[in-house]
């Protein structure tokens, strides 16, 4: 199923090399790019359910980056069905990243509604929103530490079986178990070199391990060659069956396997 809707101004979060996954030394904890300041919480926040796939209804959404500026998004209507995969397809500048920033409460929306699990998003605490709506954003990072430690950032108490399942769904398990150090192999920096596809699959496995009620994957094939991008996209759509998923991409090939495709025009 395909839907098409129109954004406002051609404005989008900048997608430069600094926003792509980069390797950092965990021990040194070097500064990393930070997201924009979250929107202020309401005085009495409404809790969000966190233990089941959630649906989302977006109606008449308008977002401006500056009060005096033109809308970055205007009149956006979108429904995410619980447990279904929606691909948001659009060129650079169409407003896809602005929409994600609004969903995660990094930017306010001046008109319209975003309802998740029946709750209006602006009535919820930002921390609750980002626990319920999260995944693999453009500023996701891999760290110079072991494969296991990289994945456990998503869920520190995860069992070995849960780690294996997340890696299997991301098509990474066979590669991990072929390494001499297996799960304790350092990656990044002076550790095991990762191809672009392996790096993206590692970040995908971490997002799957987090298992949020709404999984958001923002341009997960950014920077990959066409063949690798197509393979990673196919693996993502396979791995997210049964999850409420918003997959944001500019890739034209592959989204047909999703439950629904929405086209955002600039």
Lowest mean pLDDT among 26-30, 208-212, 254-258: 26-30
Domains and CATH numbers, the chain: 2-141+196-265 (3.40.50.300)
Q: Distances from the Cα of 132 to the Cαs of 41, 79, 88, 105, 213, in angstroms?
A: 15, 16, 19, 11, 5
More confident residue, 214 or 1: 214
pLDDT score recorded for residue 100: 92
- Pairing relationship of beta strands 56-64 and 71-80 according to DSSP bridges: antiparallel
pLDDT higher than threshold 90 for residue 177? yes
- Under a CB-based contact definition with an 8 Å cutoff, are residues 216 and 137 in contact? yes
**pLDDT confidence of 3, banded at 50, 70, 90?**
very low
Task: Report pLDDT for 166.
Answer: 93
Question: If you average pLDDT over every residue of the chain, what do you get?
Answer: 81
Identify the pLDDT of residue 44.
Answer: 92
What is the mean predicted confidence (pLDDT) over 118-122? 93
Torsion angle of the four alpha carbons 40, 206, 15, 91, in this order, in degrees rounded to the nearest 10: -100
- pLDDT (average), residues 28-33: 45
**β-bridge mates for residue 78, sequence order:** 58
Please state, as a whole number, how many other Cβ atoms lie within 10 Å of the Cβ of residue 16: 9
> pLDDT band for position 21 (50/70/90)?
very low
Output helix, strand, coil percentages for the chain, rounded to the nearest 5: 30, 25, 45
4, 218, 101, 86 alpha-carbon torsion, rounded to 10°? 40
Q: What is the DSSP letter of 78?
A: E
Q: Determine what percent of the chain is predicted with pLDDT higher than 70.
A: 82
> How far apart, in whole angstroms, are the C-alpha atoms of residue 208 and residue 169?
8
Distance of CA 246 to the CA centre of its chain: 8
Question: Could you give the angle at the alpha carbon of 66 between the alpha carbons of 62 and 72, nearest 5°?
Answer: 40
Residue from 141, 107, 99 nearest 126 by CA: 107
Structure tokens at 255: 């989204």
Confidence of residue 129 (pLDDT cuts 50, 70, 90): very high
Residue 154 has pLDDT above 80, yes or no: yes
């Amino acid at each position: 199923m395909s839907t098409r809707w129109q954004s406002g101004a051609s404005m989008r979060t900048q997608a430069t090399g600094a926003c792509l996954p980069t390797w950092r030394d965990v021990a040194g904890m070097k500064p990393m790019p930070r997201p924009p300041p979250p929107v202020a919480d309401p005085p009495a926040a409404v809790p969000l359910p966190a233990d089941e796939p959630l649906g989302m209804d977006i109606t008449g959404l308008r977002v401006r980056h500056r009060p005096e500026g033109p809308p970055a998004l205007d009149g956006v209507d979108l429904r995410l069905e619980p447990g279904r995969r929606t691909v948001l397809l659009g060129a650079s500048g169409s407003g896809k990243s602005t929409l994600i920033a609004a969903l995660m409460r990094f930017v306010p929306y001046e008109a319209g509604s975003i309802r998740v699990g029946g709750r209006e998003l602006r009535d919820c605490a930002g921390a609750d929103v980002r626990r319920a709506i999260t995944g693999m954003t453009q500023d996701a990072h891999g760290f110079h530490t072991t494969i296991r430690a990289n994945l456990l950032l998503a869920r520190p108490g995860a069992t070995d079986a849960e780690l294996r399942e997340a890696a299997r769904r991301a098509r990474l398990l066979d590669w991990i178990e072929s390494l001499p150090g297996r799960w304790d192999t350092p990656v990044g920096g002076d550790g095991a070199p990762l191809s672009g596809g392996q790096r993206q699959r590692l970040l995908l496995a971490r997002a799957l391990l987090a298992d949020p009620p709404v999984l958001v994957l923002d341009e997960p094939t950014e920077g990959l060659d066409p063949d690798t991008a197509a393979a990673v996209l196919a693996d993502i759509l396979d791995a997210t069956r049964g999850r409420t998923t918003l997959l944001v991409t500019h890739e034209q090939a592959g989204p047909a396997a999703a439950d629904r495709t929405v086209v955002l025009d600039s």
